[in-house]
Structure 1
Amino acid sequence: MFKALVTFTRYVDAINRLVGRFSMYLMFGMMFILLYASFSRTVLNSPVVWAVELAQFFMAAYYLLGGGYSIILHGHVRMDVLYSKWSPKKRALADSLTGVVLLFYLAVLLYGSVSSTAYSLQYNQHNYSAWAPPLAPIKIIMVIGIFLMLLQCISRFIKDVCMAKGLDVRKIFGDYLS
């Protein structure tokens, strides 16, 4: 059983690293779109109606797909008033407790996003704007991003519980703190 958990965490970490590193490049796509919109409006005197909205979709994909990777890098915000003074074991216990709340939140979020995506696909939902793009693609990305973040939180929870129990997490899982 324990070996299955280690294998699970390694695969989830690898997938989220890959997806997270890919999502970093979405920022360049967003910058290119906004640069093109600015160039089109000022130089060509031909503004485009789709640029800002498409840039928003790129930004949404960027932070939704990068959520799991951010957890790997310990990049989320913490109240560090007491946390930094605690021992690693006590921090892992606190992270385990807050991890349960986060897992519940992400599960509810995933349920809502799947429902919203199903609605979008069933009724061919479009955004209410001049461009009126279909919303299904970004909602599918939303489901994937939330699902990957949920898996990464489970992986992190497993590591935190092991650390709270006093196990050598670096030896078992490898790069836990990198």
Structure 2
Amino acid sequence: MTGKLAKVLKAIDSLSENTGKLFSFLILIMVGLETIEVIRRYILHSPTTWAWEVVVLLYGAHFITGGAWVLKEGGHVRTDILFSRFSPKMKAIVDLLLFAIIFFTFVGVMIWKYSIHAIYSWSIKETTYTMWAPPFYPLKTVVAISFIFLGLQGLAKWIRDLIFVIKGEEI
């Protein structure tokens, strides 16, 4: 059973990492768009009505999709004044408790609420409130899916911690 579970956990890790890496390349598009906007605005005196807003929407997708990958790598901010002094087993126990109480509650609410927002946004073909008014529903969908991925990665971490506490082995 541990072999099958390890494969599932590895698949979740791979999904988180590959999604994060894929969306990390949006930074290149954002830099390119901002460069074009600066040239058009300050050299050609012909700014766009859309570049800044596209960059903001892309940054939202870029930022939120990296959450699961950062969790996989253990890179989220942690106040570890006491935590860093704990043994690996005690760290796993603390994470088991805190993830069960705080993380899963937060992620569950975010999945629930953002899924509702995304569905509603698609139903009304929501746009931003600017002169250009690009569609807003793709970003809301990305946010909802990103929280699902974060929840899956958190579940993978929680299962790993549970196995470590019970069996003393890492998978």
Query: Please, what TM-score do these two structures have when normalized by structure 2?
Result: 0.94
The answer (yes or no) to whether the contact 1:89–1:165 under 8 Å persists in 2 is no
The alpha-carbon deviation at position 166 of structure 1 amounts to 4.5
Structure 1 counterpart of 2:126: 125
Pairing 1:1-40 to 2, within 5 Å after superposition:
1-40=1-40
Structure 2 counterpart of 1:92: 92
CA distance in 2 between counterparts of 1:102 and 1:5 reads: 22
The answer (yes or no) to whether the contact 1:16–1:68 under 8 Å persists in 2 is yes
| Aligned AA (2:53) | E
| Aligned AA (1:151) | L
The alpha-carbon deviation at position 122 of structure 1 amounts to 0.7
CA distance in 2 between counterparts of 1:50 and 1:65 reads: 23
Structure 1 counterpart of 2:50: 50
Structure 1 counterpart of 2:41: 41
The alpha-carbon deviation at position 5 of structure 1 amounts to 2.8
CA distance in 1 between counterparts of 2:165 and 2:131 reads: 53
Structure 2 counterpart of 1:167: 168
The alpha-carbon deviation at position 164 of structure 1 amounts to 2.2
CA distance in 2 between counterparts of 1:166 and 1:34 reads: 52
* 1:35-92 alpha-carbon deviations (Å, 9 max, x no partner): 1111110111111121111111111111211111000111101111001111000011
| Aligned AA (2:106) | Y
Structure 2 counterpart of 1:67: 67
Q: Is residue 145 of structure 2 the alignment partner of residue 144 of structure 1?
A: yes
CA distance in 2 between counterparts of 1:164 and 1:55 reads: 44
| Aligned AA (1:149) | L
Q: Is residue 85 of structure 2 the alignment partner of residue 77 of structure 1?
A: no
| Aligned AA (2:17) | R
Q: CA RMSD in A?
A: 1.3
Q: Secondary structure at the match of 1:95?
A: helix
The alpha-carbon deviation at position 161 of structure 1 amounts to 1.2
| Aligned AA (2:51) | A
The answer (yes or no) to whether the contact 1:16–1:148 under 8 Å persists in 2 is yes
| Aligned AA (2:87) | S
CA distance in 2 between counterparts of 1:164 and 1:29 reads: 44
CA distance in 2 between counterparts of 1:87 and 1:166 reads: 15
CA distance in 2 between counterparts of 1:96 and 1:63 reads: 26
Q: Which 10-residue stretch deviates more, 106-115 or 1-10?
A: 1-10
The answer (yes or no) to whether the contact 1:116–1:139 under 8 Å persists in 2 is yes
* 1:131-171 alpha-carbon deviations (Å, 9 max, x no partner): 111111111111111111111010011111122224220xx
| Aligned AA (1:102) | F
